[in-house]
Amino acid sequence: MRRFRHVCAACLVAVAVVPVAAIARRVTPIAQAEGPEAAAAQRFKAIRDDRVRLERFLREMPKGGDLHVHLSGAVYAESYLRWASDAGLCLVTATMALAPPQPPCDVGAGRPPASTATEGSPLYDQVIDAWSMRNWRDRNVARGGRDHFFATFARFNLATGRVGDMLAEVVSRAAAEHVAYIELMLATDGGAAGMRGTAAGWNADYRRMRDQLIKNGFSAVRAEARSRLDQAEAREREVLHCSASDAAPGCGVTVRYVSQVYRAGAPEQVFAQMLAAFELAAADPRVVSLNLVAPEDDPIAIRDFSQHMRMLEFLHARYPGVPITLHAGELAPGMAPPSALRSHIRDSVRIGHARRIGHGVDVMQEQNPPALLRELASRHVLVEIALSSNDLILGISGKAHPLATYLRYGVPVAIATDDPGVARSSHTQEFVRAVEDQGLDYVTIKRLVRNSLEYAFADQTTRRRLQAQLENELTAFERQQQNHEP
C-alpha cells in the first residue's frame, strides 16, 4: 500500500507540471490534421481565445451524442413552472417546493398558486434560482453547491409527470445544437419495481429473490414501463408535429433510454429496480442500459456499494447482452471517508461490469491510479465527462479535473451534459468549458465527438447510421470553415 501511494504521488506531480493543452496535443497533434480538417483546426486555433466566435464555432459543430443526461435534470426550471401553473399546483414559499392543490393553495398560509410566480416578479426569480443553479453562488448558500443541486429535484418533482413534453424540450435543444443522439436516464418503470421489491422483502440469495419476483408477475412491470414510454413518445411526436410537413428538427434526434436505479433505497428495492432494468433492456431496444443514481456520497449508497456491485455481477451473468454504465468516482476528498474513494471506479468496472462510467473525478484517489488508468484504457471503458456538473457539485474544475489525465493515458472520454437544465448549461457550453478550462484543441474535440457515438449503446445498425451521418456532417462543417473570415 505504501508503495502505491508513492507511485500515485509521482503520477500526480508528473501530471501537474504538464499543461493541459500540451497533453491534449500530445495525444492527437494538430499537425496530423489534413485537408478540411486542417483548415478547421487552424481556424479553431485562431479563435479559441475569442469567446463569442468560439461559442459560435462549437454550437455549429456536429457533436454526435450525449451519453450521460438525466431527463428530469435536463429540463429548464421555466418549463416546470409553466407546467406547475397549468396543473394548478401550489408553491410552498418556505422551501420553494411544489405541493398538491389539496388543501387548496393559500397565499396567506405561504402556499400561493404556482401561477402567481409570473415572469418578472420577485417570486418568479426566487423559484428559478431555487429550482436550478442560477445565481447560487451569489446567494451565499451555506452548504455549498452539492446540497443545493440535489435539493432542486425535490422542489420541482411534482411537475415532472409530463414526460412527453420533457422529451420534446430536450430533443429540440439537442437538434439546435447539432446533437444527433441522446441516451436519457429516467425511471422507466415509474417506481413500480421498487414497490414489488418491498412487497417481496429482502432475500440475500439473489437467485431466489429473482425467481420470487419473476414468479409473482414481475413481467407486468416490464409491460407497464413499455407502455409509459409509448405514451411519452406519442406525446413528444404530437408536440413536435413529427407526422406533419412542419415537423420540428427535434424529430430527427435519435433517443435511447437508460433505466435509473435509485441506489439509496432498501436492498430489496434496489435489486428489484435492477431486475426490471435488465428485463426491460433485454426486451425493448429503446432501453439500452441501466445506471445507479442518487448522490454517490449518500450514506446508504456508500454502505451498500459492495452489495450493489454483487447484485450487478449476478444479474449481468443472466443478461450478458445488456451493457452497463455506472456513476462512479463522482466524489471529491472530504465528501466521504477516504475508503469510499479508493475503489468505486475499479469495482464498478471489474465487479459491476460497467462498460462506461460517469464522471470518474476521483480517479487519482483510487489505489494505484496509474494501473487503474491503464486498465480503463485497455478495457476501452469510456468516461462520460460532465465539466459543469463536476464544478457545481464537487467544486472540481480546471487543472484539478482529471480529464487531461484520462487523455494522457489513452482512456476514451466523451463530453456529456448530465443535468443541463439544473446546471443552466448546454452541450455547447460543455465544449466551451473543455476548450477554455481544459485546453483541448480541435482534433482532440473531434475525437471526443466520435467517441460519443462509437461507445453509444444503440444497436449496431443505428450506431453505424449515426456514425456515417456524423462523418458527412463533420466534413461539411470543416469545409465551411475554409470560407470563414480569419
Provide the pLDDT for residue 456: 98
Instruction: Verify that 183 and 155 share a domain, yes or no.
Output: no
Residue 334: domain span:
65-73+160-477
Does residue 6 fall inside a structural domain? no
- Is 414 in a helix, a strand, or coil? strand
138 plus 219 within the same structural domain: no
If asked whether residues 138 and 283 sit together in one domain, one would say: no
Say whether both 406 and 449 belong to one domain: yes
- Domain boundary (122, 142, 159) is at 159
| CB-based contact 200:213 (threshold 8 Å) | yes
For 29-84, what is each residue's pLDDT tens digit? 434 556 889 999 999 999 999 999 999 999 999 999 999 999 999 999 999 999 99
- Distance of alpha carbon 112 from the chain centroid: 33
Shared domain check, 167 and 121: no
For 241-373, list the strands marked E by DSSP: 254-262, 287-293, 324-328, 354-359
pLDDT of residue 238: 98
Choose among 228, 314, 319, 336: nearest CA to 279.
Answer: 319
Are 258 and 183 spatial neighbours (Cβ–Cβ below 8 Å)?
yes
**Neighbouring C-beta atoms of residue 371, cutoff 10 Å:** 14
* Cell reading at 30: 494538430
Q: Looking at the structure, tell me whether residues 210 and 333 fall in a common domain.
A: yes
Residue 408 covered by a domain: yes
Buried b (16+ CB within 10 A) or exposed e, 75-86: bbbebbbbbbbe
Task: From 259, 288, 293, select the one nearest 276 (Cα to Cα).
Answer: 259
List of long-range contacts for 24-32, beta carbons under 8 Å, 24+ apart? 24/404, 24/407, 24/438, 24/439, 24/440, 24/441, 24/444, 25/441, 25/444, 26/408, 27/407, 27/408, 27/410, 27/444, 27/447, 28/441, 28/443, 28/444, 28/447, 29/443, 30/441, 30/442, 30/443, 32/443
Q: What is the pLDDT of residue 34?
A: 67
User: Do 176 and 313 belong together in one domain?
Assistant: yes
Look at residues 322, 319, 222, 333 and name the one whose alpha carbon lies nearest to residue 273.
222
CATH number of the domain that residue 234 is part of: 3.20.20.140
Does residue 486 sit within a domain? no
Q: Please report whether residue 337 resides in a domain.
A: yes
Name the H helices within 241-339: 267-283, 299-303, 305-318
Domain-terminating residue out of 159, 179, 201: 159
What is the pLDDT, as a whole number, of residue 139?
A: 59
End-of-domain residue from the set 103, 137, 159: 159
Residue 66 to residue 69: CA distance in whole angstroms: 7
Q: Residue 386 in contact with residue 430, Cβ under 8 Å?
A: yes
The reply to whether 376 and 464 lie within a common domain is: yes
146 and 169 belong to one structural domain: no
Q: What is the 3-state secondary structure (H, E, C) of 5-51?
A: HHHHHHHHHHHHCCCHHHHHHHHCCHHHCCHHHHHHHHHHHHHCCCH
In a domain, 284, yes or no: yes
Give per-residue pLDDT as tens, 1-16: 333 333 333 333 333 3
Q: Where are the alpha helices (DSSP H) in 30-143?
A: 35-47, 51-60, 71-74, 77-86, 122-130
Share of the chain above pLDDT 70, in %: 91
What's the structural domain count of the chain? 2
Rounded to the nearest 5 degrees, what angle is found at the Cα of 117, between the Cα atoms of 112 and 120? 150
Residue 7: the pLDDT is 36
Whether residue 482 is contained in a domain is answered as no
How far apart CA 89 and CA 102 sit, in angstroms, is 9
Read off the C-alpha cell for 62.
Answer: 456536429
- Residues 184, 136: one domain? no
Q: What pLDDT is recorded for position 144?
A: 67
Edge-first strand order for the sheet with 254-262 is 65-70, 181-186, 254-262, 287-293
The string of pLDDT tens digits covering residues 447-481 is: 999 999 999 999 999 999 999 999 999 999 999 99
Task: Give the per-residue pLDDT at 17.
Answer: 36
CA 422, 424, 429, 435 torsion: positive or negative?
negative
pLDDT given at position 32: 54
Same domain, 362 and 266: yes
Q: Specify whether the CB–CB gap between 11 and 364 falls below 8 A.
A: yes
Q: Are 128 and 424 in contact (CB under 8 A)?
A: no
In terms of domains, do 153 and 191 share one?
no
Query: Which residues, in sequence order, are bridge partners of residue 91?
Result: 98
* Residue 248 covered by a domain: yes
3-state secondary structure of 324: strand
Q: What is the pLDDT of residues 121-144, one digit of tens each?
A: 999 999 999 999 999 876 555 556
Consecutive 10-residue runs of the chain (486 residues): their mean pLDDT? 36 37 40 76 96 97 98 98 98 97 95 96 96 80 78 97 98 98 96 96 97 94 96 98 97 98 97 98 97 96 97 98 98 91 97 98 97 98 98 95 98 98 98 97 98 98 98 96 71
Q: Where are the alpha helices (DSSP H) in 114-263?
A: 122-130, 144-156, 163-176, 192-200, 206-215, 219-240
Residue 106 lies in a domain: yes
Using alpha carbons, select from 311, 316, 64, 315 the residue that is nearest to residue 183.
Answer: 64
pLDDT recorded at residue 486: 53
